[in-house]
Amino acid sequence: MISLRRASKLALPTLGLFTALFMASCSTEEDPATPEPQPTEDPFVLSLAIQGSENSFTYYTVPFQDVMSGTLSAEGQGIEQPGYYDFKMIDKTIYSIGGLDDQNVVGISRNENGELIQTGDVSFTNSVSDIVKADDNTLVAVTLSANSDQVTFHTIDENSVTVNNTVTRPIAELTQTDVPAYSGMRIVGNKLFLSYYISNPNTWATEYTDEAMVAVYSYPNFEFQEVITDSRVGPIGGFNTKSGLIEDENGNIFAVSHSNPANGYSQFTNDSGILRINNGETTFDPDYYFDVEEIAGGTVAHLKYLGNGKAFAEINTTARADQVTWTDSPLRSVIIDLNNLTVDFVTGIPEHNGAGRRLAALHDGNYVYMTIPEESGITVYRINTADYTATKGATVEANFVAGFFKL
């Protein structure tokens, strides 16, 4: 099992033949079944973490044609990056975000020959916490670091992966106690929303867990405006999950609170659940509250928006009082309907451990691809988001999968 690593040093009865043929014909013309995804030349890209003899990691970002059979290995191929990296895809580029001693960001894309290439290599004083899409050709990176009393925003040119502008704002605008730990960021119109929780930089204890907190800044000037709070739930997000805030097609922001000990909380003093900030507003919607814990019998650990109000989530099925700290487990996979407030569990994928970091999952059409650690090794699972079933795929040779993409 891979546990969370602390940041300091770190898935009718039978009818007659005529009737069956008739129904099959109708199904083909009027209600087609979800087609099997057809492989093309190296459409999938995985970032595989391999641990060396001295406990250091090297990441290999590797293309694969098929992820549903055989064994996926990084041996002799891919882009190699020693250090500690997080991976995120925006548009047609994968961004490797360095941490610890490798405080840089590198773009990974494909050239006209289909080969993986690196684009840009920009270094920062402190590690970037996350990168999000802002507008055409512009990304915004943010740094919340225990080593600085400033929140730092960088605007980055998406094409060249170079910094256009850097703005700092005092952390004191967010909190007067301990330090804020990053959990999510979204930009809607001329507003930037930044979610965080408070963590002791020496002990990692979370002593302030009574409310959700989201800072609001202007965009593109990054002027601090306010911190909005809600006492219906505890803090938004968790250690290294980076999915505290998600945005739908209408510009509504959903804020995910779980306060899980398994995801870095030393205590919890309030409910977990999902809140909403409506497009054009800078307050939490008082009429919206998704009590996932009551409906699903567990708390959200990771969330990935799919579209049309649906999201893929990993649910911690153990009561928070019984969770083992820093384990990111045990998890079950579900599909959440954020508008209708429903949860459907995925069948065919066992209860499993997480990797203690950003969810490495690919959304492609009617499918979500992810990997889970099993006794036999790491395994790919393809989840059908229409019927909530999963199919077992290839075995992965790695300590963990840091990114799952399609280019």
Segment 351-395, tens digit of pLDDT? 999 999 999 999 999 999 999 999 989 999 999 999 999 999 999
Amino acid at 117: I
Q: In this predicted structure, what is the pLDDT of residue 368?
A: 98
- The rounded distance, in Å, linking the Cα atoms of 334 and 344 is 5
| Inter-CA distances, 30 with 13, 25, 27, 253, 264, Å | 22, 9, 5, 35, 49
50 phi/psi in degrees, rounded to 5? -120, 125
Q: In this predicted structure, what is the pLDDT of residue 28?
A: 40
Give residue-wise pLDDT tens across range 317-361.
999 999 999 999 999 999 999 999 999 999 999 999 999 999 999
Q: In this predicted structure, what is the pLDDT of residue 300?
A: 97
Answer whether residue 183 is part of any domain. yes
Of the chain, the percentage scoring pLDDT greater than 90 comes to 82
Q: For residue 37, name the pLDDT band (cuts at 50, 70, 90).
A: low
Residue 202, token pair as written in the block: 């020496």
Answer whether residue 2 is part of any domain. no
Give residue-wise pLDDT tens across range 149-195.
999 999 999 989 999 999 999 999 999 888 999 999 999 999 999 99
Answer whether residue 181 is part of any domain. yes
Give residue-wise pLDDT tens across range 113-137.
889 999 999 999 999 999 999 998 9
Answer whether residue 368 is part of any domain. no
Answer whether residue 128 is part of any domain. no
Answer whether residue 222 is part of any domain. yes
Write the DSSP string, 318-358: S-GGGPPTT---SEEEEEEETTTTEEEEPBSS--B---SSS
| Inter-CA distances, 132 with 11, 141, 370, Å | 24, 7, 21
Give the domain extent around 202.
Answer: 174-359
| Eight-state DSSP code of residue 50 | E
- The rounded distance, in Å, linking the Cα atoms of 115 and 123 is 24
Percent helix, percent strand, percent coil in the chain, to nearest 5: 5, 45, 45
Answer whether residue 304 is part of any domain. yes
Which residues on neighbouring strands pair with residue 382, listed in sequence order?
Answer: 369, 391
Number of H helices, E strands in the chain: 2, 28
Q: For residue 75, name the pLDDT band (cuts at 50, 70, 90).
A: confident
Residue 99, token pair as written in the block: 């941490």
Q: In this predicted structure, what is the pLDDT of residue 22?
A: 34
Task: Flag whether pLDDT at 19 surpasses 80.
Answer: no
Give the number of domains in the chain: 1
Residue 309, token pair as written in the block: 């109000």
Amino acid at 231: S
Q: Of the candidates 181, 307, 192, which has an alpha carbon nearest to the alpha carbon of residue 236?
A: 181
Answer whether residue 243 is part of any domain. yes
Q: For residue 220, name the pLDDT band (cuts at 50, 70, 90).
A: very high
- Only one residue has tokens 């109708």, namely 26
Q: For residue 99, name the pLDDT band (cuts at 50, 70, 90).
A: confident
Q: In this predicted structure, what is the pLDDT of residue 55?
A: 81
Q: In this predicted structure, what is the pLDDT of residue 53?
A: 78
Amino acid at 30: E
**Segment 92-108 mean pLDDT:** 92
- The rounded distance, in Å, linking the Cα atoms of 309 and 146 is 35
